[in-house]
Structure 1
Amino acid sequence: MAENKMLKFVSVEQKTPPKREAGARVQDFSEIYAAFVQPAAQEQAGRCSQCGIPFCQIHCPLSNNIPDWLKLTAEGRLQEAYELSQATNSMPEVCGRICPQDRLCEGNCVIEKDFESVTIGSVEKFLTETAWEQGWVKPRTPRAELGLSVGIIGAGPGGLAAAEQLRAKGYEVHVYDRYDRVGGLLIYGIPGFKLEKHVVSRRAKLLEDQGVTFHLNVAVGDQVKLDELRARHDALLIATGVYKARDVAVPGAALDGVVPAMTYLTASNKVGMGDKVPEFDSGDLDAKGKHVVVIGGGDTAMDCVRTAVRQGAKSVKCLYRRDKDNMPGSMREVKNAEEEGVEFVWLSAPQAFLGDGKVSGVKAHRMRLGLADSSGRQAPEVIEGSSYNMPADLVIKALGFDPEELPTLFGAPELSVSRWGTVKVDFKTMMTNLDGVFAAGDIVRGASLVVWAIRDGRDVADQMHLYLKAKADARLAKAS
């Protein structure tokens, strides 16, 4: 009788791939986790309980068929497991690395309470890296060309997911991006210790091999107007993401040395890729030898504090107005940051940034959690008379992101946006108020996770296909 390779959670303990020691990993920007080797990946995949209602799949934005590809992995049927994994995910090698699995699939694993969850993300990373090594990852070239053209504004995860799907259907796909590399946030925002850049460039090369054309260093509204792109293509997708930094309205916010998170992270990532960044070379965006204070509690704040440690900061503090239990970021990232020497200052918020021309400190006040607000979370309240100062040579604001003013930026005042600045769409068709112009990802839903951008990119590709098919059918009917 064949051995049952599943349901081993009662006999096999949870194990993650080896993690480099903190003292060693802070010396570079390489990923901190090793990859599973096949026996370990199969053993951990075999811990899956194959439950009747897979909460891991339900809580995955992409509805990845996790139990089935875990079973195939446990049985050693790795190519089949990979094929099933990539059927619903345009970038499984990215999601396996940077998804907050502790809040999504793994956090909802039914064996979590008593036996610790299946290490889904690590198995996913193992599968996709094995697939690349074995040559199983191939460009999805179309069976036939449809003779219709699609333009996509934004080469981030949402735009790339849509590009892959639309090109596979047979459309000519052109992606426009204002930066000089493909990947958007994946390249410029997320540090290499979470996502090494070759992982993104490898995916970009695959899309080029699939027939997607990239137009880099092209800022829509500057080099080309939205109207020009609408005339050039049969349909258009806005997938720009959100990059406008939220500010903090306190005295001293304009001092030198008080910088937005994306400015800081982009400089660090560019230097890591070999670019010359004058603001880094001058020391303005380099944390080396400085007292660094990061304001915020999300994953971007964790990226900033951990980057500052690697740059050789004298001290790194994370200032957050709520407590640890109420942090919006991944607890796994918080733990990694603590291991690397970051000091978390809970229940504190900036009152003012101190300094004469250049920041020299942060004046903060203590907070307490009061009654729940409209979101259901306890609202932070200032404790009167609790002010204190801390030294700071570099303050990084990681308070989240808002949309840029796209109607002005694109030279398209007719484009409708919400009161938050996000692009308005019909949520059934994902089309904006402009015929043939669609929008998806963070520019519609607001700042969110990469996995949601991928989901939106795949969904909007289906809606654009329906629109273009109806348009083509109408032309044929008219011609006949």
Structure 2
Amino acid sequence: MKHDIFRFLEEPREMPARVPLALRTAGDWNELYGGFGPSEAEHQADRCLDCGNPYCEAKCPVHNYIPNWLKLVQEGRVHEAAALCHETNPLPEMCGRVCPQDRLCEGACTLEDGFGAVTIGAVEKYIVDTAFAQGWRPDLSKVVATGRRVAVIGAGPAGLACADRLVRAGIGAVVFDRYEQIGGLLQFGIPSFKLDKAVIARRREVLEGMGVTFRLGVEVGRDVALAALLEDFDAVFLGTGAYRYTDGGLAGQDLPGVLPALPFLVHNGRIVTGGDTWGRPIAGWEDTLTLPKLAGKRVVVLGGGDTGMDCVRSAIRLAAASVTCAYRRDEANMPGSAREVANAREEGVRFLFNRQPLAIEADAAGHAAGVRMIETRLGEPDANGRRAAVPVAGSESTLEADVVIIAFGFSPVVPAWLDPHGIEAQGTGNGRIRVGGERRLPYQTAHDRVFAGGDAVRGADLVVTAVQEGRDAAASIARMLRRQAGGEIARSALDAI
């Protein structure tokens, strides 16, 4: 197809077809967006202006070569486009599905101002899904084994990205994870309507074909000691994620009928995929929590981030009688993706903005019955530049609820089994692992042979930022191993990352 620089004038922005609203509200857990066919993908890719200074690429945390692989799609060269996608992103088919493109690449697209951004995420998904379906796999035929091995702790996006880059450099990667499937929150935290779990299973098959080994259901610190891993491996990467939910300190938050977002999403994800059933305690969670059935219940979700959107949209599919999202700032200041908010609203979620929860109230039986709230107005910016939510005196009210889900965010915890090795948090009360510093490689901890990245270092963030840190940490590991070997690991191996 010949590229027409003015294609965007006659070809409007289009997304793949979506699951009909009636099916979504009736409990359909399939991915909301379908996929492009070759013609649709080529036409949407052809809308790209091929800017001399591609803002989309600059805004992407992994700096994907977006205009380049869009051009390859225009020319029907899908396998080459897939190879180019993987040069910068070890998990492109997942980022194409779950990245908030409206805040990243597409939000920075030159056409976004008046013409509609190029549908970058949907094309990225098309490239990798199509290439995999046609049998394409990453080519490691020229990789030379170094004889070195790295233990990767955590099979979430940071750990998977690190393992991918290590094996491309000829370094063996063995990934340990306490859960029974790979993916971390990709598998257990993100609902199937955003990320089909078959996509994760296929990525596991691809990684194993590349030489990555997985040891699942193995918890470091319980089943195997870090000291043993340091004895058996040349280096260790920590991609332990962020699983501690932010405690809002609300009175009544321990009442029956109140759930933290993560165990709700984890357990429900297992139920949807056939890995668990209703009425049983949530496996792997510290407390004995049981997921209540939401059918016919009034559900209130506290928090306006992407996790909150996952919760409200899951509750809709679980046949809740009503679903309300309460957030303490206005819609313009919501941290969640605008596209996810729009999807939630379309599916019937009610939004209450400028509402700050004060307490969860109980009924006569001691069960959650509502959330006492106060209205807010936006005040002066806080230390991070965000305008503070200031309570309005005399504006308290109670929102009735049968189930309350708390989605205030998550933070990491430095595992106690790191203490004997001198690996510590970045500061007092901060659960993020300290990395870098003087005479340290990027992502290198206080222990020379232990590296860390992703949410464990950054705090809860996007999948794509975890991918970027896992990828870049692998480059530091390769550099460290090359130094130790006195040049034995060839520079070409490092360049492969």
* TM-score bracket relative to the smaller structure: over 0.9
- 1:439 equivalent in structure 2: 452
**CA shift in 2, pair 1:278/1:338, >3 Å:** closer
Name 1:289's counterpart in structure 2. Answer: 296
Q: Structure 1 residues 410, 7: closer, same or farther in 2, change over 3 A? A: same
Match of 1:13 in 2: 12
Q: Equivalent residue for 2:377? A: 368
Match status 1:423 vs 2:411? no
Deviations 1:251-303 (A, max 9, x none): 11111121111100001110112122454589734322211111101000000
Determine the structure 2 residue equivalent to 1:212: 212
Partner Cα distance (2:38, 2:488) in 1: 53
Question: Retained in 1: the 8 A contact 2:57–2:66?
Answer: yes
Q: Percent identity?
A: 43
Q: Write out per-residue CA displacement over residues 416-449 of structure 1, whole angstroms, 9 at most, x where no aligned residue.
A: 2112111001164311001200001111111110
For 1:249, the equivalent position in structure 2 comes to: 249
C-alpha distance in 2, partners of 1:225/1:141? 34
Contact conserved, 1:242 with 1:402, CA < 8 A, in 2?
yes
Counterpart residue number, 2:318 = 311
- Aligned twin of 1:262: 262
Equivalent residues in 2 for 1:302-381, closer than 5 Å: 302-355=309-362, 356-381=365-390
C-alpha distance in structure 2 between counterparts of 1:468 and 1:154, whole Å: 21
CA distance, structure 2, for counterparts of residue 243 and residue 18 of structure 1: 34
Secondary structure of the corresponding residue to residue 175 of structure 2: strand
Deviation at 1:129, TM superposition (A): 1.1
Higher alpha-carbon deviation: 4-13 or 323-332: 4-13
Change in CA separation of 1:197 and 1:73 when aligned onto 2, cut-off 3 Å? same
**3-state SS, counterpart of residue 186 of structure 1:** helix
Give the whole-Å Cα distance in 1 for the aligned partners of 2:366 and 2:221: 34
Question: Which 4+ runs in 1 deviate beyond 6 A?
Answer: none
Aligned residues: 474
- The residue type equivalent to 2:24 in the other structure is R
The SS at the match of 2:323 is: strand
Cα 1:468–1:272, aligned 2, differ >3 Å: closer, same or farther? same
The residue matched to 1:127 in structure 2 has which SS? Answer: helix
Superimposed CA distance per residue, residues 334-378 of structure 1 (whole angstroms, 9 cap, x where no aligned partner)? 000001000011000111101153211111111111111121121
Deviations 1:197-228 (CA, angstroms, capped at 9, x unpaired):
00001101111122211111111111122222
State the TM-score, normalized to the length of structure 1: 0.95
Change (3 A) 1:475 1:204: closer
In the TM superposition, residue 102 of structure 1 has moved relative to its aligned partner by: 0.1
Q: CA deviation at 1:32?
A: 1.0
Tell me the secondary structure at the aligned position of residue 163 of structure 1: helix
1:397 matched to 2:406: yes
Report the CA distance between 1:384 and its aligned residue: 1.0
The secondary structure found in structure 1 opposite 2:174 is strand
**Counterpart amino acid of 2:12?**
E
AA of the residue aligned to 1:310: R
Q: Classify 1:51/1:418 alpha carbon distance in 2 versus 1 (closer, same or farther; 3 Å).
A: same
CA contact (8 A) 1:222 1:410 kept: no
Corresponding letter in the other structure for 2:432: T
Partner of 1:414: 422
1:111 is paired with a residue whose SS is: helix
Equivalent position SS for 2:72: helix
Pick the aligned partner of 1:454 from 467, 487, 490.
467
Q: Deviations over 1:121-143 (max 9, x none)?
A: 11111111110111112464663
Contact 2:226 2:417 in 1 (8 A): no
Instruction: Please say if residues 7 and 50 of structure 1, whose CA atoms lie closer than 8 Å, have aligned partners that are also in contact.
Output: no
Give the distance between the partners of 1:3 and 1:119, measured in 2 at CA: 19
- The DSSP-based 3-state class of the residue aligned with 2:13 is coil
- For 1:4 and 1:473, locate their aligned partners in 2 and report how far apart those are by CA, in whole Å: 49
Aligned to 2:284: none
Partner of 1:4: 3
1:17-72: CA deviation from partner (whole Å, max 9, x where unpaired): 11122121232110011111111111111111111110000000111010111112
Match of 1:385? Answer: 394
Question: How far apart are 1:451 and its partner, in Å?
Answer: 0.4
1:272 maps to what in 2?
Answer: 272
Identify if the C-alpha distance between structure 1 residues 7 and 63 changes in structure 2 by more than 3 Å, giving closer, same or farther. farther
- Decide whether the 8 Å contact of 1:404 with 1:421 is kept in 2: yes
8 Å contact 1:174–1:213 — kept in the other structure? yes
Matched residues in 2 for 1:179 and 1:410: separation?
20
- Whether 1:125 aligns to 2:125 is yes
Of the three residues 451, 467, 470, the one matched with 2:483 is 470
SS in structure 2 opposite 1:349?
A: strand
How far apart are the structure 1 equivalents of 2:4 and 2:488? 55
Deviates further, 29-38 or 185-194: 29-38
Cα contact 1:139–1:207 (8 A) shared by 2:
no
- Decide which moves more: 273-282 or 200-209: 273-282
The 1:6–1:389 alpha-carbon spacing in structure 2 relative to 1, beyond 3 Å, is same
